[in-house]
Amino acid sequence: MVQTELETKKKPELKVNYDPKGDVLYVSFDDPRPARSVEIEDGVFLRLDPDSEQPVGFTVVDFYKRFSEHPDNILTFPFPQFVQTTGENRK
C-alpha cells in the first residue's frame, strides 16, 4: 500500500496538562513551544506564535474553581478577532 503525503505527515495533537497544586490548565495545539501570551479574560491566556500570531495553545488559571462553579460543566471563553493579524496588537 502506498501512503499519500497527507497520511505520512504528523497529525496535530491537542496536549493537555493540569497542575492540581496551582489549579492551572495548560492546553497546547501540538507540542508546547515558545509563545507570547495575551490575557483574553481574567486568568485566561491565549498563547500565540510570536511570528505568525496563530494560536498555539491557552492557559486557564483557577481551572477547577471555574469549572466547578458551572453547573452545566461547560466553560466558554471569548476567542479574539485579532488572532490572525500581523502583530499590531502585541503587548
Which residues are CB-neighbours of 37 under 8 A, at least 6 positions away?
A: 45, 46, 47, 48, 59
Residue 48 resides in a domain: yes
Residue carrying the nine cell digits 504528523? 10
Residue 29 resides in a domain: yes
The count of structural domains within the chain is 1
Cell of 74: 461547560
Residue 89 resides in a domain: no
Residue 6 resides in a domain: no
Would you place residue 56 in the very low, low, confident or very high pLDDT band (cuts 50, 70, 90)?
very high
pTM of the entire structure? Answer: 0.69
Residue 5 resides in a domain: no
Residue carrying the nine cell digits 499519500? 4
List the domain range (segments joined by +) for residue 36: 11-73
Residue 49 resides in a domain: yes
Write down the pLDDT at residue 91. Answer: 41
Residue 81 resides in a domain: no
Cell of 81: 478577532
Residue 56 resides in a domain: yes
